[in-house]
């Protein structure tokens, strides 16, 4: 997992280090990032679903960790305000996703499906004319379902949540293709928090609270309307 995060940051760094972008960074241009914008993105997400399962009384705890992955895509909108080279912004987005995974702790099967998540974030960037490098962070929320089963049998318990609150942070780069159109590459880490713990006497099972986090690499295109 740590290696994947390093790879994500390396991809962003590779964009910034390309000769074309380095030349733009040295040039003193006149592109202004101030204005409202809207766009769409597509990418890949991977993450983890984890917790501790036990019987109803909390005995025989069995930690589990389930790898999640899949394609995701969505839309975003926001507003930037440029002061000299500094670009301040606020952005909201929603990602439709199908990040799925399953694992088989001893005698059990556990699966999780993340159906979508969104965020509302601040952005702080530094502009080199047509290129802006930024960091971002804020609140996130997501929808997912986890199922628990004895291996080879139908699920005996389902736990789900809608718009559960968490947080997100990341970094990226955006390049102005024209005065209005732009392209971007972004990495983000999103922690969607944990489901409440459950104890189900009928199935003689319990969970300390299913936790989900997601890493994502997103490529996007945006259209800037201009300053308000």
pLDDT confidence bin for 206, thresholds 50/70/90: confident
Q: What pTM was estimated for this model as a whole?
A: 0.81
| Residue among 184, 171, 165, 73 at smallest CA distance from 119 | 165
Closest CA to 156 of 211, 216, 215, 198: 198
Q: What is the average pLDDT value for the chain, to the nearest integer?
A: 84
Q: State the CB neighbour count (10 A cutoff) for residue 212.
A: 27
Given a cut of 60, is residue 22 above it in pLDDT?
no
**What is the SS3 assignment for 16?**
helix
Mean pLDDT of 39-48: 97
pLDDT band (50, 70, 90) for residue 133: very high
Q: How many Å apart are CA 125 and CA 173, to the nearest integer?
A: 9
Q: Which residues contact 47 (CB under 8 A, 6 or more apart)?
A: 67, 68, 69, 99, 114, 190, 212, 213, 214, 215
Number of Cβ atoms within 10 Å of the Cβ of 154: 7
Give the mean model confidence (pLDDT) for residues 176-188: 97
pLDDT in tens, 78-114: 999 999 999 999 999 999 999 999 887 666 778 899 9
Domains of the chain in sequence order: 2-22+33-226 (2.40.160.20)
Q: Of 193, 159, 213, 161, which Cα lies nearest the Cα of 45?
A: 213
The most confident of the ranges 99-113, 171-185, 186-200 is 171-185
Q: Using alpha carbons, select from 72, 71, 73, 77 the residue that is nearest to residue 39.
A: 77
């Amino acid at each position: 997992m740590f290696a994947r995060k390093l790879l994500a940051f390396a991809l962003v760094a590779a964009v910034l280090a390309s000769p074309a972008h380095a030349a733009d960074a040295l040039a003193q241009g006149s592109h202004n990032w101030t204005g409202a914008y809207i766009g769409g993105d597509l990418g890949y997400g991977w993450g983890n679903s984890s917790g501790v399962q036990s019987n109803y009384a909390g005995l025989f705890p069995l930690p589990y960790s389930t790898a999640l992955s899949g394609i995701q895509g969505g839309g975003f909108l926001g507003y930037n305000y440029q002061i000299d080279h500094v670009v301040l912004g606020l952005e909201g987005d929603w990602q439709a996703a199908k990040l799925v995974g399953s694992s088989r702790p001893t005698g059990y099967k556990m699966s999780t499906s993340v159906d979508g998540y969104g965020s509302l974030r601040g952005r702080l960037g530094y502009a080199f004319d047509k290129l802006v490098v930024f960091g971002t962070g804020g609140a996130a929320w997501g929808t997912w379902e986890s199922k628990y089963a004895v291996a080879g049998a139908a699920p005996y318990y389902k736990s789900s949540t809608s718009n559960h609150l968490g947080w997100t942070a990341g970094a990226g780069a955006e390049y102005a293709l024209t005065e209005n159109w732009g392209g971007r590459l972004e990495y983000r880490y999103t922690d969607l928090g944990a489901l409440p713990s459950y104890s189900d006497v009928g199935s003689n099972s319990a969970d300390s609270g299913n936790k989900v986090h997601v890493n994502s690499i997103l490529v996007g295109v945006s259209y800037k309307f201009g300053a308000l």
